[in-house]
Amino acid sequence: MVDHVVLLGEAGSVLAGQLLPLVDFRLPCGFPSPADDYQTELVDLNRLMLRHPDASFLARAVGESMTGAGIHDGDVLAVDRSMPAQDGDIVVACVEGEYTVKRLEKRPDSVVLVPANPAYKSIVVRNADDLRIWGVVVMVLHPLVGEGRRGVSYVRPR
């Protein structure tokens, strides 16, 4: 089975108008000293996550083939369709009518879509007509706390 993505919607419409505070210091995975001064600014998630919001979309990852790249089942992927895919990029590809998320590897005689989990096989594409690159994955939203605790309900895969 090929892991796939579920389209959530255009990023511009999902994130428009939602400004969140961004604290102006780096968190070294510890707790800052109460004596430290810091500033906050309001950040548009489109600016933070996407260079080209009009050419981007969000999709939900389904499956375990990219866990080694930090993409887990249920994560939300920000995908930029305006970026040309380069060797080594993680891409959303359509192979023979099925969508998949894999690392792109260009070879002289083929293109290989490589999973980031050794339990899955690479997809070798020799005929360029069998492959469409839908975009480059530029960011992964990976929840660390369950939806119930956050009080948030997202669009779930069908």
Ordered DSSP codes for 84-113: PP-TT-EEEEEETTEEEEEEEEE-SS-EEE
Catalytic hit among 13, 65, 106, 122: 65
Contact at 8 Å (CB) between 58 and 8?
yes
Tell me the β-bridge partners of 42. Answer: 21
0.75 exceeded by pTM: no
SS3 of 147, please? helix
pLDDT tens digit sequence for 11-38: 444 445 555 555 555 556 655 555 555 5
Of 13-17, 73-77, 116-120, give the range with the top mean pLDDT.
116-120
75 pLDDT more than 80: yes
Q: Is residue 102 flagged as an active site residue?
A: yes
Mean pLDDT, rounded, for 52-71: 90
What pLDDT is stored for residue 118 in this prediction? 97
Q: Is residue 106 flagged as an active site residue?
A: no
What pLDDT is stored for residue 55 in this prediction? 85
Going along the chain from its start, the domains and CATH numbers come out as 4-10+51-150 (2.10.109.10)
Catalytic hit among 102, 106, 110, 121: 102
Of 27-36, 114-123, 133-142, give the range with the top mean pLDDT.
114-123
